[in-house]
Amino acid sequence: MTAPAVLSTDRLELGEGIRWTDGRAVLTDILTGRLLALPDGPGAALDPITRLSCPLGAVAPVEGRPGHWIAAAGTGICHIDPAGRVVWIARPEDGAPVPMRMNDGVADPHGRFWAGSMACEATEDAGSLYRLDRDGRVTRVLRDVSIPNGPAFAADGTSLYLADSARGVIRRYPVDPESGDLGAPEAVAALETGSPDGMTVDIEGCLWTAVWGAGQVRRYRPDGTLDQTVDLPARQPAGLCLGGPDGRTLLVTSAHIGLPDPGPLDGAVFAVRVDVPGAPAAPYRPTAPAAPADRAGTP
C-alpha cells in the first residue's frame, strides 16, 4: 500500500459519490450540484461534466448510452443527458415534513439503482432508501434512517451494505436477485470513532468505508473484522471507489464543509494503491422508458 497522493488542485465543499466508469473517475460536489471528472494529471483542476440547480449526491452510468446518467439529486431520482438536461423519474421527498435531499446512490449488479435520502438538517430517522427498478418504478424500501450512506453491493448482488452514518453502524441486508426485496439486516460494524460514509466492496468481498471525522478509510472482512486502516491528511473522507486500469487504486473524496479551520488538504481527492482490486461502477440497465415524474411506490 502506498502513501495517499493528491489528485487535483480542487478542494471540494462536500465531495462524494466517486465512481470508476468508462476508464475514468467521476464524482460529485453535493451541495453545489456539480458532476466532475478527475483530470489527467495531479496539477490540474477537476473537469466539469454538468451542474444541476439542486444538490447532486451520486450518479450511475446508463448502459449502452454514453454520457447519460441516473442520479440521486434534489428530492428524488432523475435522468441526465449529455447536454445536462434533466428528466425527473420521481421526487418522493417533495412535501416531506422537513426539508430533504438525496444523498449517496449506486447501481447494483442486476441493473437497478439505489439511493438514500436525508433531512437537510440531519433530522433523526427522517431518511429513506429508494430503489429504481429497471422498468422505471421507484419504491421506498427502507424508512427511519437518519443519514443513509453507501449503499454498496457484493459482486453477485445478493448482499447490500448500508451505513447509518449518524448512528455509526454498517448493516448488511440480503437481496433477492429477482425482485430486489431486502431481508432482515445484520450489523457488520459499529464504529466508536468517526462515522461510516461512502463504501465499496472489493473482489475478496471485503468492505471499504470512508470514516468521516476520523481522517481514515477502513477495510472490513465479511465477518466484520477490521482488516486495514488508511490514514488520510483530511478530516472528513466522504466517498470512495476502487478504480484505475487494474482496479487497485483506492480513490477517496473528502469535504471541508463545517470545518472552522480547514487544512490545506480538507476537500481534496486522494489515491492510494492497494493489493486487492475492485470492479468498475455497475450501470443502470433500463428495460423501458423512464417512469412518469413523481411516480413512487411505498411498501
Annotated binding residues, written as ranges, equal 16, 101, 103, 121, 149, 197
Decide: 159 and 174 in contact? Cβ < 8 Å.
Answer: yes
Using the Cα atoms of residue 134, residue 111, residue 197 and residue 241 in order, give the sign of their dihedral.
Answer: negative
Annotated binding site for a divalent metal cation: 16, 149, 197
Looking at the DSSP bridge assignments, the partners of residue 127 are: 145
As a whole number of angstroms, the distance between CA 150 and CA 146 comes to: 13
Known catalytic membership, residue 275: no
Annotated binding site for substrate: 101, 103, 121
As a whole number of angstroms, the distance between CA 183 and CA 204 comes to: 23
Using the Cα atoms of residue 97, residue 100, residue 103 and residue 105 in order, give the sign of their dihedral.
Answer: positive
Catalytic residue among 108, 133, 164, 197: 197
Residue indicated by cell numbers 430517522: 125
Decide: 49 and 41 in contact? Cβ < 8 Å.
Answer: no
- Biggest distance spanned by C-alpha atoms of the chain: 49
Active site (catalytic) residues: 197
